[in-house]
Every structure is written in structure tokens, then in C-alpha cells.
Amino acid sequence: MNQKGSSEISSEAAPNTNEGQSVVLGLWGVRYQVKDVSRSIDFYTKQLGLKLDMKNLPAFGQVSGDNFKLILSGPGASGSRAMPDGRQQEPGGWNRVILK
């Protein structure tokens, strides 16, 4: 487990023993906690050349590149809700990998 209490994720999918197939089909994207969604969208689209897929300011935005989605969760987004123990999610360690 890392500092934030989440476990490490292997780059290989564990096989589904019931069907003999992988449960994970690949990486879909990452949910990234940010303080300012609009500013983050500007950075990822103008500086890094990602494409804007959608935005619902000030809480949410999604940008993408080749087969990758980056979901920007700002304060007030459902992905930024407090953890069950009351800790607030914030930029710098509360990001999530999203699997297919």
C-alpha cells in the first residue's frame, strides 16, 4: 500500500478463472484531481495538444489523446467527494486509473 492507502496495480491483468479470459481489457484513462478545471483544460489542450472531449465547469472536464482519456475532477465534482473516513481528496495523490 502507498501513503494514501491504495494498493499498487499490476500492469498485467489477472485471468478470469471462470472463463479463461482477462477481466481487464486495457487502460481507459486516468481521473486526475485538479483545483481549477478550466485552467487544466487550457494546459492540456494548448500546451500538450490533447483534444477537449467535454467540460462541465467548474467541476469536470475530459481531454484525450491517442486511446487515452484524462478526466479532470475539480472541487465539487462527484469524483472529488470526501472519502468514507472524512478525508478530502485533493490534487497530488488522489488520482485513479480507469480500466476497460
In this structure, of 4-8, 32-36, 43-47, the range with the lowest mean pLDDT score is 4-8
3-class secondary-structure state, position 45: helix
Residue 8: what pLDDT? 43
**Which residue's C-alpha cell is 472531449?**
53
71-99 pLDDT, tens per residue?
998 887 877 777 889 887 776 666 667 66
Task: Please report, for the chain, the start and end positions of each structural domain, with discontinuous segments joined by +.
Answer: 23-80
Terminal-to-terminal C-alpha distance of the chain: 23
In this structure, of 35-44, 51-60, 77-86, the range with the lowest mean pLDDT score is 77-86
| Residue 3's pLDDT band (cuts 50, 70, 90) | very low
Contact 4, 26 (CB under 8 A): no
Handedness of CA 84, 86, 89, 94 (dihedral sign): negative
**Which residue's C-alpha cell is 486516468?**
30
Highest mean pLDDT among 12-16, 68-72, 87-91: 68-72
CATH code for 23-80?
3.10.180.10
Residue 56: what pLDDT? 94
CA dist 84 and 5 (Å) reads 13
3-class secondary-structure state, position 38: helix
Residue 20: what pLDDT? 64
Residue 47: what pLDDT? 94
